[in-house]
Structure 1
Amino acid sequence: MVLFAAVLAMSGCSREKRVIDADQPVTERIGAQDPRAHQFGDNLFQVSQGGRYFAWYGCNGCHGENARGRADLADGHWRHGATVDRVFASITGHGPTGLRIPVEQRWQLAAYVQQLPRLDPAYRRRQDIDQVGEAQADQWQGPVR
């Protein structure tokens, strides 16, 4: 009797309906095919926001106030590629710091960095004037939740 009940219970498992299709969550696209690459890379407002976050997140600690520090970003020669999606991937893969930055702000930073070789140096330091009194680098505690 017990054996019969076990067989009956197991046969019911194969009738369980499971839907496995494209509706299921998938990993978000990151790369040239990601529509955000063009939304952020070609928009001057997004580029200027990226310049603001460049100092705010302490990127200038290694890259310098004018992006010509130890890791020079203003020359346009980068190890991981110069397209906005490659710069985004580099920022994202920059250890725990990169992942602490919200996705939209990472795209803005990537747009700014990607545009650096074409930006007039006077515009690179504008955020220093605009952000007087805002928390910078080591004083920053992460996004407000």
Structure 2
Amino acid sequence: MRRLASMLLLCLAFAAAGCQREERQTRPQPSLGDSEQGVPVTTLAPGGGSPLLSDAKAAEFEANAFQLSEGKRLFSWYNCSGCHANGGGGMGPALMDDKWIYGDSIEAIHASIRDGRPNGMPSFRNHIPDDQIWELAAFVRSLSGKVPSAAAPNRNDDMMPHPAENRLPGAATEGKSP
């Protein structure tokens, strides 16, 4: 009996040693961001020009579905809809069209959120961590269709013109026998 118990214990030890957890890097650590907010890379003049320097972080956030969905969550959480009305424009400019005063690149949008713009857009430099500003900028670009469709987040269910097909009345009963 002792021998069986020791063999079972040995087998469990080998099985536990063989298990390895998958590692995923979904969010930069620490949770407040791993980068310093640098010096502004654009001037506050309109004209749609691209920033003077390109940030290497742009590619990390622009086509990443997780970062875009986090940007969508943060857009709601920081109440960006209070001025931009879910991207359609309100007190602030619309984010779903092709009219971008300060440029439509992710770097220009990041600079607008971080540094603010004259006549309304406040600076969020010391209020929002830099990585969250990148996530917001990536989501704002997705509102006008400027990111790959495979990575872009969908509209919320409450903004859709009709419920999804699987939520229509009678969808649950179709194909089932009594």
Shorter-chain TM-score category? 0.5 to 0.7
Greater length-normalized contact order (CA 8 Å, ≥ 6 residues apart): 1
The one-letter code sitting in structure 2 at the alignment partner of 1:110 is A
Structure 1 runs, 4 residues or longer, greater than 4 Å off: 27-32
Counterpart of 1:38, as a letter, is A
Segments of structure 2 that go 5 or more residues without pairing to the other structure are 1-37, 42-50, 117-121, 160-178
Match for 2:83 among 58, 62, 76? Answer: 62
- Residue identity opposite 2:154 in structure 1: Y
Counterparts of residues 1-145 of structure 1 (less than 5 Å)? 27=38, 33-64=54-85, 66-70=86-90, 71-94=93-116, 95-118=122-145, 123-125=154-156
Distance 1:39 1:86 in 2: 16
Whether the 8 Å CA contact 1:93–1:99 is kept in 2: the answer is: no
* Unmatched tracts of structure 1, length 5 or more: 1-26, 129-145
Contact 2:102 2:108 in 1 (8 A): yes
The alignment's TM-score, normalised by the length of structure 1, stands at: 0.59
Partners of 1:127 and 1:111 in 2: how far apart?
A: 22
The RMSD of aligned alpha carbons is 2.9
> Could you state the TM-score of these two structures normalised by the residue count of structure 2?
0.49
Q: Which is helix-richer, 1 or 2? A: 1
**Paired residue secondary structure (2:73):** helix
The question of whether the paired residues in 2 share the 8 Å contact of 1:91 and 1:106 is answered with: yes
Counterpart code for 1:37: A
Deviates more, 1:69-78 or 1:79-88: 69-78
**Corresponding residue of 2:15:** none
Of all paired residues, the percent bearing the same amino acid is 35
Matched residues, number? 101
